[in-house]
Chain A
Amino acid sequence: MSFVLETQGLCKSFGGIIATDNVSFKLPAGARHALIGPNGAGKTTFVNQLTGVLTPTSGRILFEGADITDWSVRRRATAGIARTFQINQLFADLSPLESVTLAINERENAASEWFRPIGSRTDIVDEACALLETLGIGDVRDARVGALPYGKQRLLEIALALAAKPKLLLLDEPAAGVPESEREQILDVVARLPDTVALVLIEHDMHLVFRFARTISVLVNGALFCEGTAEEIARDPRVRQVYLGEEDVGHG
């Protein structure tokens, strides 16, 4: 089986605090994987090392077999690792169309062109429009991003990540803080993502996790606590004890 992503003995400490503790992890192509764990388990720290925002203290990260441990954020992004952020990281003064066009420009190496007006590559603009339509935010494509409702901003987070046509997509709590009425739209979008992209979902919400993930890793105190299929994790009494508590998780 080929693995898109692999970490070998990944460790990260901040002073005396060990945020990532010897995590060895393999992600097969086309995976639908969830990374769960209680608050402060080190999920976001782990993701930040995968994307290059943080440098691990020790250990290696492999992407499609290549050692990317020392690669910059940008190089990883160009290689096909995309992420969304737990807290929206958008371009407030641009429109959704401009934001996505920019991301596609970067993918197509068209973004350093300084003499050509932005809209002149119609193939890129059309692709941006199509992507916004797919995510159900085509109607607000010319609005100011900063003025969009929160749910639409969350969808734009995903659109920006998808514009890069990633091979690996890391979704950091995509539905966090979204009102119930707009939640379903985000879940649908996540469920409809093509199999060519391997997904890692970092999530608190167990309904979302069990609806979407085929495999799950549980992170506790920075270390991998256990791994398995969604069913195995749901049935595992240790997981219930350490993480799920008394909460009912009876979804398949």
Chain B
Amino acid sequence: MSMTQPPKSDAGAQMLAGARWRWHEGLFWLAAIGLFFLFGDFIPGVPTRLMLLSEIISLGLLALSIDLVLGYAGVVTLGQGAFFGLGSYVAALMAKAGMGAFPLSDPVVGLLAAAAVSGFAGFVTSFLVLRGSDLTRLMVTLGVALILAELANQMRWLTGGADGLHGVIMGPVLGQWDFDLWGRTAYLYSLAVLFVCFWISRRIVNSPFGLSLKAIKGNALRARAIGVPVNARLVAIYTIAAAIAGVAGALLAQTTQSASPDMIAFHRSADALLILVFGGAGYLYGGLIGAGLFRVMQDVIGNITLQYWQFWLGLVLVLLVLFVRGGVIGLIEGMRDRLTRKGDAP
């Protein structure tokens, strides 16, 4: 406690500084743009991987939406995939009905519609997760996801059942850029959408509203006692996260020009949760980094031993959860703190 005390008017500036963009964040987004030039069929000999990268973005955005409810508000969910799937069906159905013409086949219109529908579904089901323990919440969110997945499977006339929706024709992005075979438009479009959603999420977690979410996660009893409307805040963040998950699903449907039961299946919720914990919950970047590493590991380990890749994934996950707080990002922070001997992590 020997630190000298700054004058009090600095305190606000210090808190504001906590919300300022850091250089390594700039690096992250620059790297994401760099991947476009590296894997976009510009360099001879380097394979084209933009479709895979777009899929990673969609998955990362889903994990980001889980981070908002789990990493910040402390609500565990196994059902975020339901909102993802809902968003993908909404986007695919709209584009299919629009036959490639504005407005129904316009990608941005599709995203907004997916966000609205998924957000509404999130709002309605949020009241189910207000009560109860972590276990109850896991089961309730899982149950909602299973119901939606089965509905998508059974409503064959609308969703195409087990075959899914194909022949979806997307209009050009903003009326300008058509989706191309290399996935260049798909990647830049996905990256732009990811950035916008990320930016909004970042504003949220650094706001007074975001602070109250952290307080609810830390101690809901005390939060209530100082006047925090705990339920209203949880409903709000659950709704926002569901809308973002819907956008993530719509992105995948639009860039792959299809929607399938696989997009709403339970394993997507579980994968996304795993990805978030793997990358580190409560940093916003955890889901994005986790999604990248998850798919790269899947590729690399899959090339060495196709059958056992989940074995190695599981092993890494267990080690990470047992020995490192905060996933991959927690690991990096820990190493940095040891190097700089800063003590408490920010």
> Which residues of A come within 8 Å of B, CB atoms?
51, 53, 72-74, 77-78, 82-83, 85, 89-94, 97-99, 101-103, 105-107, 110-122, 125-126, 128-130, 133, 138-144, 147, 160-161, 163-164
Chain A CB within 8 A of B211 CB: yes
Q: Is there an interface contact between A91 and B16, defined as CB atoms closer than 8 Å?
A: no
Query: How close is B182's CB to chain A, nearest CB, in angstroms?
Result: 37
A139 to B13, CA, bound (A): 17
Q: Is there an interface contact between A119 and B18, defined as CB atoms closer than 8 Å?
A: yes
A102 to B222, CA, bound (A): 12
Q: Which residue of B lies closest to A91 (CB)?
A: B218
Q: For A164, what are the chain B residues with a Cβ–Cβ distance below 8 Å?
A: 226-227
Q: Is there an interface contact between A118 and B225, defined as CB atoms closer than 8 Å?
A: no
Chain A CB within 8 A of B229 CB: yes
A112 to B235, CA, bound (A): 12
A-B contact count (CB 8 A): 151
Chain A CB within 8 A of B46 CB: no
Q: Which residue of B lies closest to A123 (CB)?
A: B12
Q: For B222, what are the chain A residues with a Cβ–Cβ distance below 8 Å?
A: 85, 89-91, 160
Q: Which of B221, B222, B229, B236 has the most CB of A within 10 A?
A: B222
Q: Which of B224, B232, B344 has the most CB of A within 10 A?
A: B224
Q: Is there an interface contact between A89 and B225, defined as CB atoms closer than 8 Å?
A: yes
Q: Which of B11, B17, B209, B218 has the most CB of A within 10 A?
A: B11
Q: For B18, what are the chain A residues with a Cβ–Cβ distance below 8 Å?
A: 118-119
Chain A CB within 8 A of B139 CB: no
Q: For B9, what are the chain A residues with a Cβ–Cβ distance below 8 Å?
A: 122, 126
Query: How close is B258's CB to chain A, nearest CB, in angstroms?
Result: 34
Taken residue by residue from 160 to 188, chain B's Cβ proximity to chain A (1 for < 8 Å, 0 otherwise) reads as 00000000000000000000000000000
Chain A CB within 8 A of B291 CB: no
Interface with A: B97-105, B200-208, B329-337, which one? B200-208
Q: For B1, what are the chain A residues with a Cβ–Cβ distance below 8 Å?
A: 139-140
Q: For B14, what are the chain A residues with a Cβ–Cβ distance below 8 Å?
A: 119, 142
Q: For A103, what are the chain B residues with a Cβ–Cβ distance below 8 Å?
A: 226-227
Chain A CB within 8 A of B306 CB: no
A92 to B219, CA, bound (A): 8
Given A112-B236, A114-B207, A129-B8, 14 additional A-B pairs, CB 8 A = A74-B224, A94-B214, A94-B218, A97-B15, A98-B211, A117-B203, A117-B206, A119-B11, A119-B14, A119-B15, A120-B12, A122-B12, A125-B15, A160-B222
Q: Is there an interface contact between A106 and B228, defined as CB atoms closer than 8 Å?
A: yes
Q: Is there an interface contact between A77 and B209, defined as CB atoms closer than 8 Å?
A: no
Q: Is there an interface contact between B227 and A106, defined as CB atoms closer than 8 Å?
A: yes
Q: Is there an interface contact between B227 and A118, defined as CB atoms closer than 8 Å?
A: no
Chain A CB within 8 A of B215 CB: yes
Q: Is there an interface contact between A138 and B5, defined as CB atoms closer than 8 Å?
A: yes
